[in-house]
């Protein structure tokens, strides 16, 4: 990475007025995106499986006669996964289960007024679809991140869609993770057609209530279109991103490895390094240049690095304000005064604290979820968690004493809004109690 165009942009104390420009993500040409997505949706809705197979042949270059993964395929794939990798996946599964099980809603009954009890309970979303990218890196870890909390929440049906490879098969590791986590149905279908099939249902692929999982720009656009047909989605998600903040105590080699761990996801990924120690910029830049040469996905990482930045600020307050303005998907904090940053942090998907907490840990095995908001959506969205797979239902129970206590206030408020029937529903009960 010797040429200037292959280096991260370096900024020293950039003015706040420039932050909106600095925090922009790489632009993607979406000019034909909407039209393509709508066209596929229309066809899948009308023609079901035949349209799904047609677009699988067109986009994935493979002809499928049957889209669902058979039990024979499952058994064969599972047998091919090494015992070492199985053990690693099982360790990750256990940690993810522990963390997500701890998020279960505890029912707290509150008596708001004597005789008026209110409480909230969680109920599972019955049918969920999980999308697992195949592409250049089959993300079997995402199966764990989505299927495990779905199972803990009590979802009745988990449907997995993932694109087939050129032989019409699914990665062995994806199938092993799916079996381990109790996925109900697996389909060799990816891209727009998978999201459309989950939205409408086909002869083979069930219609679901909510769709989860990352994907490319076409999958993201398809998920957003699905919401117009009454489906829920986890969040708008785009290319991966990471911001690392480190003071002088950080290890430049560690920091560079973290930056590159996200840069290798895709050429449209973005990584940012922010520091209050200007000498760290050069040290990290040199390490990035050294390490990138050794990566199998070097060409992809280089493209991402061209979208990325090295930034130095004099003030800790400027740094935390910049982090909140950026709203990173992943944030690594390495600082002697880490408490200051954690206390003042407002917007981030997932935070990794200290030199020995790589972002990779959250991607795989620490227990937290790696399905996170990108493109600044961390300012308004949470990452996937147990709540993502449930609905919250409120309950209330009112006694005679309770309706007598709050009834007059309800009558007055309903009348003030001109809703006489609302008032009458209370008036009749109060009158009955006076008899």
State the DSSP H helix or E strand holding residue 131, giving kind and residue range, or none if neither: strand 127-131
Catalytically annotated residue among 43, 264, 285, 329:
329
Measured CA to CA, the distance from residue 3 to residue 23 in angstroms comes to 24
User: What pLDDT, on a 0 to 100 scale, did the predictor assign at position 215?
Assistant: 86
Question: Could you confirm whether 43 is annotated as catalytic?
Answer: no
Measured CA to CA, the distance from residue 435 to residue 429 in angstroms comes to 10
Domains identified in the chain and CATH numbers: 4-20+238-382 (3.40.50.1980), 48-75+123-234 (3.40.50.1980), 399-434 (1.20.5.1300)
Catalytically annotated residue among 285, 330, 359, 370:
330
Q: Are 131 and 195 in contact (CB under 8 A)?
A: yes
Measured CA to CA, the distance from residue 313 to residue 90 in angstroms comes to 42
Q: How many residues does the chain have?
A: 435
* Higher pLDDT among residues 320 and 217, named by residue: 320
Chain centroid to Cα 165, Å, comes to: 24
Q: Alpha carbon of 206 to those of 68, 175, 190, 400: distances in Å? A: 11, 19, 15, 47
Mean pLDDT in residue range 230-240: 90
pLDDT tens for residues 328-358? 999 999 999 999 999 999 999 999 999 999 9
Q: What is the 3-state secondary structure (H, E, C) of 49-79?
A: HHHHHHHHHHHHCCCCCCCECCHHHHHHHHH
Q: Are 308 and 357 in contact (CB under 8 A)?
A: no
Q: Is the pLDDT of residue 1 over 50?
A: no
Sheet order of strands, 350-353 included: 9-12, 309-312, 270-275, 241-246, 330-334, 350-353
User: Can you give the pTM of this predicted structure?
Assistant: 0.93
SS3 state of residue 318: helix
Q: Is 4 exposed, middle or buried (0-12, 13-18, 19+ CB in 10 A)?
A: exposed
Q: Name the DSSP letter for residue 302.
A: H
Chain centroid to Cα 365, Å, comes to: 16
Strand 110-113 to 330-334 pairing: unpaired
- Between the two ends of the chain, the Cα-to-Cα distance in Å is 88
Contacts of residue 388, defined as CB under 8 A and 6 or more positions apart, other chains included, come to: 149, 212, 234, 382
pLDDT tens for residues 125-175? 999 999 999 866 789 999 999 999 999 999 999 999 999 998 999 999 999
Q: Name the DSSP letter for residue 138.
A: -
Q: Are 331 and 356 in contact (CB under 8 A)?
A: no
Question: Could you confirm whether 277 is annotated as catalytic?
Answer: no
Q: Are 326 and 24 in contact (CB under 8 A)?
A: no
- List, as one string, the DSSP characters of 200-252: H--SSSPP-SEEE----HHHHHHHHHHGGGT-EES----S-EEEEEE-TTS-H
Q: Give the pLDDT band of residue 2 (cuts 50, 70, 90).
A: very low
Over the chain, what is the mean pLDDT?
A: 95
pLDDT tens for residues 167-200? 999 999 999 999 999 999 999 999 999 999 999 9
- What are 246's two structure tokens? 């480190």
Half-sphere exposure of 160 (CA within 13 A, CB side): 30
User: What pLDDT, on a 0 to 100 scale, did the predictor assign at position 135?
Assistant: 64
Measured CA to CA, the distance from residue 261 to residue 252 in angstroms comes to 14
User: What pLDDT, on a 0 to 100 scale, did the predictor assign at position 216?
Assistant: 84
The percent of the chain in helix, strand and coil, each rounded to the nearest 5, is 50, 15, 35
pLDDT tens for residues 12-22? 999 999 999 99
Q: Is the pLDDT of residue 47 over 80?
A: yes
Q: Is the pLDDT of residue 3 over 50?
A: no
CA dihedral 345, 351, 357, 360 (to 10 degrees): -150
* Higher pLDDT among residues 6 and 52, named by residue: 52
User: What pLDDT, on a 0 to 100 scale, did the predictor assign at position 270?
Assistant: 95
If one counts every other C-beta atom within 10 angstroms of the C-beta of residue 65, the result is 6
């Amino acid at each position: 990475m010797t040429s200037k165009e292959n280096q991260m942009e370096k900024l020293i104390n950039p003015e706040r007025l420039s932050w909106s420009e600095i925090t922009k993500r790489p632009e993607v040409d979406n000019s034909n995106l909407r039209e393509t997505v709508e066209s596929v949706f229309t066809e899948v809705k009308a023609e079901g499986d035949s349209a799904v197979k047609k677009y699988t042949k067109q986009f994935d270059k493979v002809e499928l006669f049957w889209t669902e993964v058979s039990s024979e395929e499952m058994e064969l794939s599972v047998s091919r996964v090494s015992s070492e990798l199985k053990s690693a996946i099982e360790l990750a599964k256990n940690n993810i289960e522990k963390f997500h099980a701890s998020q279960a809603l505890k029912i707290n009954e509150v008596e708001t007024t004597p005789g008026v009890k209110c409480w909230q309970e969680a109920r599972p979303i019955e049918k969920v679809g999980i999308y697992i990218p195949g592409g250049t890196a089959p993300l079997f870890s995402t199966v764990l991140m989505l299927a495990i909390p779905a199972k803990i929440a009590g979802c009745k049906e988990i449907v997995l869609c993932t694109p087939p490879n050129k032989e019409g098969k699914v990665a062995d590791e994806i199938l092993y993770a799916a079996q381990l986590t109790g996925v109900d149905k697996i389909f060799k279908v990816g891209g727009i057609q998978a999201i459309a099939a989950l939205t409408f249902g086909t002869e083979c692929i069930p219609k679901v209530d909510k769709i989860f999982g990352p994907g490319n720009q076409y999958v993201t656009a398809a998920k957003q279109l699905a919401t117009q047909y009454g489906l829920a989605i986890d969040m708008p998600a785009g290319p991966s991103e990471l911001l690392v903040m480190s003071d002088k105590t950080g290890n430049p080699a560690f920091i560079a490895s973290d930056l590159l761990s996200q840069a290798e996801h895709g050429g449209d990924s973005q990584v940012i390094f922010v520091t209050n120690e200007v000498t760290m910029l050069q040290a990290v830049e040199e390490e990035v240049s050294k390490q990138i040469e050794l990566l199998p996905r070097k060409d992809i990482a280089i493209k991402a690095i061209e979208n990325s930045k090295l930034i130095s600020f004099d003030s800790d307050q400027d740094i935390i304000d910049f982090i909140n303005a950026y709203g990173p998907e992943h944030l690594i904090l390495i600082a002697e005064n880490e408490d200051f940053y954690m206390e003042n942090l407002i917007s981030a998907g997932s935070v990794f604290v200290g030199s020995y907490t790589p972002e990779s840990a959250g991607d795989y095995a620490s227990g937290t979820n790696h399905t996170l908001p990108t493109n600044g959506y961390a300012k308004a969205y949470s990452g996937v968690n147990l709540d993502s797979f449930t609905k919250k239902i409120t309950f209330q129970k009112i006694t005679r004493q309770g309706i007598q206590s709050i009834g007059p206030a309800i009558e007055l408020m309903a009348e003030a809004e001109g809703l006489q029937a609302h008032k009458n529903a209370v008036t009749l009960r109060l009158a009955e109690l006076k008899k």
